[in-house]
Structure 1
Amino acid sequence: MAPEVKVPLLEGRGATPAQTLGNIVVSIVGTGVLGLPYAFRTAGWLAGALGVAGAGAATFYCMLLLLDCRDKLREQETEENGLGDEQSRHGDGGNYTYGDLGERCFGPVGRHFTEAIIVLCQTGGTVAYLVFIGQNISSVLPALSPATVVLALLLPVEVALSFVRSLSALAPFSILADACTVLAVAAVVKEDVQVLVERGQPFAGRSAFAGLWGVPFACGVAVFCFEGFCLTLALEASMSNRAKFRSVLLQAIAGVTVVYVGFGVCGYLAYGDATRDIVTLNLPSNWSTAAVKVVLCVALALTFAVMMHPIHEIVESRLLAPGGWVRRRGRFVERAALHLSRVAVVATLAAIACFVPAFGEFAAFVGSTVCALLSFVLPALFHLRVVGPTASTWARAVDYFFLLSGLVFAGHGMYTVLSPQ
């Protein structure tokens, strides 16, 4: 099995419900929230709100499917190995990563496919970070336009940070990024409220339903916003009382969904058809707005290495496979290969970001394709494989609904990108 990726906020055991609630929120909320007003502009404020609420409910349900799969596998393990319930519940053998579920369900092919989807999903998130940084810094410092200039200057910093192999050392940067995201959201909401007060009639000239094709776009952005799906099992394992995790998870998803809906509606009502794909670009050009953008971009640049860690782990586990060419060439070649692989991965992502035209469209594409596969298709597929034989007809029908809907959603996302405009 590939090594389990540890998350700084989840190291150790014994987290209280309050700590777990905070960890869930930190793992979910990311830069995608700043693209929600643009998604609401595309779909309409009511359609967008329903899309975000639906994405939140579907995410919560599919997270429960993963937990059900883990519980069933743990139960089977107890019966096969004769472990006591306490050993199975708290021992290392009872904890599974997302890749472990893939392997238990479909063998090595299942693990490889699951890890490939995780890599693609993390790649989409990190590229979105770079696009976000490039567009915002270019708006503050026009001398650094186009955004590719910003990315070229940023590349050496990200390569240097990629050599920091300790997640514990990078954890403060991740927390700083989330704090800055909260600051940016607060600054945007403050401006939104001022604009709405000046307008007097917030819903005048704003579409509740902008058209059928706008709904999948809004759902794609919403799915992208619910980051951290592959951390569900680790979050549950970090609790001292795992029986309370489901209720804590419900509180977190419900709270984040309400914030997302409110933020998206307010942003669209304030700026209407002028809403940008990154709503911070709608803020007035003054020193406070510039400060918010710069601080947010610096924090994202620093936490970029944390987002890259799962990719590096999976790539390096393949590069350093026992008996492989690198292993046979000695310690020096091994260390050189590790460093070169990290440089190559970061440089490749920066190059991809240079060709991404807009943050909003890219976030919708990633959300409706690889994120949909990771969040809906794989959990439903695993649940049918592990729990399906003993599940009720209704439960299997819901699993098939999420499986087919996720595939159709991903197919629509691919068609939208590949079809001629």
Structure 2
Amino acid sequence: MRREEGGENHMSNEIENPLLPKSSGRVTGTASAAQTLGNIIVSIVGTGVLGLPFAFRVAGWLAGCLGVMIAGLSTYYCMLLLIQCRDKLVSEDTSSTETKTYGDLGYKCMGKAGRFLTEFLIFTSQCGGSVAYLVFIGQNLFSIFKSYTSLTYRSFIFLVVPVQILLSWINSLSALAPFSIFADICNVLAMTLVVKEDVQKILGGEFSFSDRKAVSSNIRGLPFAGGMAVFCFEGFGMTFALESSMRERGRFSKLLAQAFTGITLVYVTFGFFGFMAYGDDTKDIVTLNLPKDWSSIAVQMGLCVALIFTFPIMVHPVHEIIEGSLKKSSFFQTHPCISYDNNSTTRLGKFMIYISRAILVVALAAIASFIPGFGAFTSLVGSTLCALVSFVLPALYHLILLGSSLNFWQRSLDVCILLCGLLFAVNGTYNSIVGV
């Protein structure tokens, strides 16, 4: 599952949290090429893939295929821009503290405002991904049990809140990491089941290819689907951590290209087959289209259980940022009942931290309960937060740091990505809110 988001978000302790301050000095990575490849896939592939068939329904199968490929290529290129920016800073001053996070890069380019902007966007994108998880869980549980109970979609979201609060109190991400692997296995099973259903419909002659539109006549459908495609490639905040973890860093660009090629191919195939299977009846979460037999219900339940246990990983960076702000506050540092002289927290201080985590989970659940649909929300997050984090900021920082050394075409490409990213964010936001 994604992470999203960003998320980024299903990494073991070997890949450190991209939003938190790190120790100085460049540490040699220990991950092999195979391990790094696995980490890249886990960081990028997530819940959003289950909304791709709906994106193809909105945009058309040809427009959907092109949109996913453009989103994948653009994300890959902008990740390389970040690596170039970091390498430029290291080459200029090898004695300075290494730029290890996206926020560090923002600080080097634009000072405190750059760090705040970068980390704020990643912070909100993590929250958006967390809300998407809860929406997914609520919609799937409601679909499974609606004929057996009078509970509403919102009720199912709040039913899992106590479990999410308890899990959020676990400080060790390594204890939750196995559930991330379980989530991705369930993701693969869900995609396999959808493709199986599609093949059965094709062999049974239950659909006509001519009935599946190649390009939507609804102009607003294209940026809407584009937002969902961008959401599927989140995990941008993990760029530095992924590259730094690799033993042979010089091979990272090639490895990243291989990963993006494979992921993009899977995304295109899954979105295409899902749309072909269900056509205009394709729902915003394609698992809701599956027949109500034991295998489909098992996959849906598996996805929900996996997301319940991986939700704390997605929201963990948000907890860390909030708690970091609390611990730096004068009230927290000076109050004798909360903090010792060495800034270690007392039991009361830890209790306040646990309360802040519980409040955050309840707040995210409250937001999720008002989200009308998974597809519209993921498109909104992809069009705004993910587009700004993945395209606008990398191009801007690349121009700031390397603009004078770039040729005309390189600068033009950066400016094009910057402007297109901004236009995409504005237009995509409008279309997501207005609806398609």
TM-score (norm. length: structure 2):
0.89
The answer on whether the counterparts of 2:376 and 2:435 sit within 8 Å (CA) in structure 1 is: no
- Residue 174 of structure 1 is matched in structure 2 by 180
Match in the other structure for 1:279? 286
Confirm or deny: 8 A CA contact 1:326 1:337 kept in the other structure.
no
Alignment size in residue pairs:
404
Distance (whole Å) between structure 2 residues aligned to residue 301 and residue 163 of structure 1: 14
The equivalent residue for 1:22 is 38
- Partners of 2:14 and 2:245 within 8 A in 1: no
Q: Give the match for residue 107 of structure 1.
A: 111
| Displacement of 1:144 | 5.8
Q: Which residue of 1 is the match for residue 342 of structure 2? A: none
- CA deviations on 1:184-233 (whole Å, 9 max, x unpaired) are 11111111111122226651211000132211111100000012111011
Q: Do the aligned residues in 1 keep the contact of 2:231 with 2:382 (CA within 8 Å)?
A: yes
Matches within 5 A, 1:293-308: 293-308=300-315
Q: What's the CA shift for 1:419?
A: 4.5
Match of 1:89 in 2: none
The answer (yes or no) to whether the contact 2:99–2:105 under 8 Å persists in 1 is no
- Cα distance in 2 for partners of 1:196, 1:313 equals 49
Q: Structure 1: how far apart are the matches of 2:256 and 2:396?
A: 22
Q: What is the alpha-carbon distance in structure 1 between the residues aligned to residue 159 and residue 48 of structure 2?
A: 24
The one-letter amino acid of 2:42's match is V
Q: Deviations over 1:106-163 (max 9, x none)?
A: 1111111111100111111111110001011111111264211111110000000000
Separation of aligned partners in 2, 1:372 and 1:391: 23
Paired with 1:7 and 1:109, the residues of 2 have a C-alpha distance of: 30
Give the distance between the partners of 1:216 and 1:9, measured in 2 at CA. Answer: 36
Tell me the distance in 2 between the aligned counterparts of 1:201 and 1:169: 46
Of 221, 225, 231, 1:224 maps to 231
Residue 418 of structure 1 deviates from its aligned partner by: 4.5
Deviation at 1:260, TM superposition (A): 0.4
State the match for 2:246 in structure 1. 239
Secondary structure, counterpart of 1:210 in structure 2? coil
CA contact (8 A) 1:222 1:367 kept: yes
Query: Using a 3 Å threshold, how does the CA distance of structure 1 residues 9 and 300 change in structure 2: closer, same or farther?
Result: farther
Deviations 1:223-281 (A, max 9, x none): 00012111011000011000000000000001000100011011111111000000001
Residue of structure 2 in register with 1:314 after alignment = 321
The 5 A counterparts of 1:11-410 are 13-78=29-94, 81=95, 93-142=97-146, 143=149, 145-199=151-205, 202-211=208-217, 212-321=219-328, 324-329=330-335, 330=339, 331-410=346-425
- CA–CA distance in 1 between the matches of 2:67 and 2:269? 13
SS for the counterpart of 2:283 is: coil
Determine if contact 1:223/1:367 at 8 Å carries over to the other structure.
yes
SS in 2 for 1:234: helix
* Matched-pair contact (CA < 8 Å) for 2:131–2:365: yes
State the partner residue of 2:20: none
State the SS of the aligned residue for 1:285.
coil
Counterpart amino acid of residue 201 in structure 2: V
CA distance in 2, matches of 1:356, 1:244: 42
Cα–Cα, structure 1 residues 144 and 124, in superposed 2: closer, same or farther, change >3 Å? farther
Q: Distance in 1 between matches of 2:112 and 2:381?
A: 25
**Structure 1 gaps, min length 5:** 84-92
- In structure 1, the partner of 2:5 is none
How many angstroms apart in 2 are the aligned matches of 1:64 and 1:288?
Answer: 41
Letter in 1 for 2:36: T
For 1:220 and 1:319, how far apart are their aligned partners in 2? 34
Cα distance in 1, alignment partners of residues 321 and 156 from structure 2: 28
Give me the TM-score of the superposition, normalised by structure 1: 0.93
Question: Quick one: distance in 1 between partners of 2:205 and 2:14?
Answer: 43
Do the aligned residues in 2 keep the contact of 1:120 with 1:370 (CA within 8 Å)?
yes
Structure 2 counterpart of 1:8: 13
Secondary structure of the residue aligned to 1:276 is: coil
Once residues 201 and 139 of structure 1 are traced to their aligned partners in structure 2, the CA distance between those partners, rounded to angstroms, is: 25
Report the secondary structure of 1:94's partner residue: coil
Task: Identify the residue that residue 90 of structure 1 maps to in structure 2.
Answer: none
Q: CA deviation at 1:332?
A: 3.7
Query: Deviation of residue 416 (structure 1)?
Result: 2.4
**Cα displacement (A) at 1:8:** 2.6
Q: Which protein is richer in helix relative to its size? A: 1
Match of 2:21 in 1: none
